[in-house]
Structure 1
Amino acid sequence: MSKSKDQRKAQNAIADAAEAVKSAKKTAKDLPPKRAKQVRELADEAARVVETPKKKVRKKPARVTEKAKKATARLRRGVETAVAKAERKAALRAEADRAAAAAEKADAEAKARTEEAKALKKSAAKADREARRAEEQAAAALASATSTTGTDSESGETDAPTGLEAETVVQLRARARAAGKTGYSRMSKAQLVALLSD
């Protein structure tokens, strides 16, 4: 091979390296600091090859060509690696952000369900209290109605139960409650009659 061909190869390799350096420095601007520093170091190394004196290119063109090609290849590999790692990190960060958003949404939904359950429990307790109050009022009304009919009837000997024995357990419990008695909730009808008879 003639010397001028080798020199042209060397100059082409240097031009290729210069283009790679320019591209790498542009790419480094978009990378995270750590990756950008690595790319800039490789670009500086390749830039030193680009700045090879013309005298050296004339004297040892094959060696300059080889050095320029190696520096260019190292730079391109370094840029590819840095970009791939930055993309991987960005993807992981995006996945973490999505997971955090999903967890936040689930937490908000759980809080909403908890609040809803509390509201339902509160309204159920209120309905239960109102039902008990209505039951007591009904029992008291029934008890007073029974007691008035019991006093109006003639006192004759009949087989039908009269007075307390004619009332239901619910009515007897209502009377016990109204009389301020305690322990009546688990008593049988006979025990309630005995309690109220005292």
Structure 2
Amino acid sequence: MKPATDPLAQLTEIRAIMERSSRFISLSGLSGVGAGIVALAGAAVGYWRLRTQYGEGGYVRLLEGAQQDRIATLPFLLGLAAAVIVVALGVAIYFTRRRAKQEGAPLWSALGRRLALSLAIPLVAGGLFCLQLYMHGAAGLVVPAMLLFYGLALLNGSKYTLDEIRLLGLTEIALGLVASLVPGLGLLFFALGFGLGHIGYGLLMYNRYERAPQSL
């Protein structure tokens, strides 16, 4: 005779309840995929604009050019960065809100606020630091610094969400360190870290947590 209660099922349910109360688990893998696609589009627009303005190898020419050229290009780069961030955040919020609604969990909970704050502090500090690098003639280190600070932000926020965020953070840090050795390939590493890195992470998250199991 089968017992009325399954101890293993009870333990699984208790574990799920504890996880929901201590971690923000409504992050959607589709958010990562969408953000990665937006980042790739942003890198393509940046490459096209710099090539149009400076010719073949436009990114390297910008790095090696005069300071007045970098200052003249700064409004475009800031506008492009702002557009990428806004669109990527919009995509992430849309898919995460949809998943949270499906699970009956609040999006802007205490855990959600802690996660957002833990991400925002390193990102804002990193953004201001990257701006100073660009203005003081170290433009080749901007993309490596972006990857490093983003990876640190993910590590800082990983304690409030799924463990896969920590893996993505370590990946971004590794890419940032390698990119610092070859500053002329900054756009390529930007596409790898913010583009393909997010897409790979998003697909992993989607297949692991969101994809409906296929019936045999």
One fold, TM greater than 0.5?
Answer: no
TM-score range, shorter chain: under 0.3
Rg (Cα) greater in structure: 1
TM-score by length of structure 1 reads 0.26
Higher relative contact order (CA 8 A, sep 6+): 2
TM-score by length of structure 2 reads 0.24
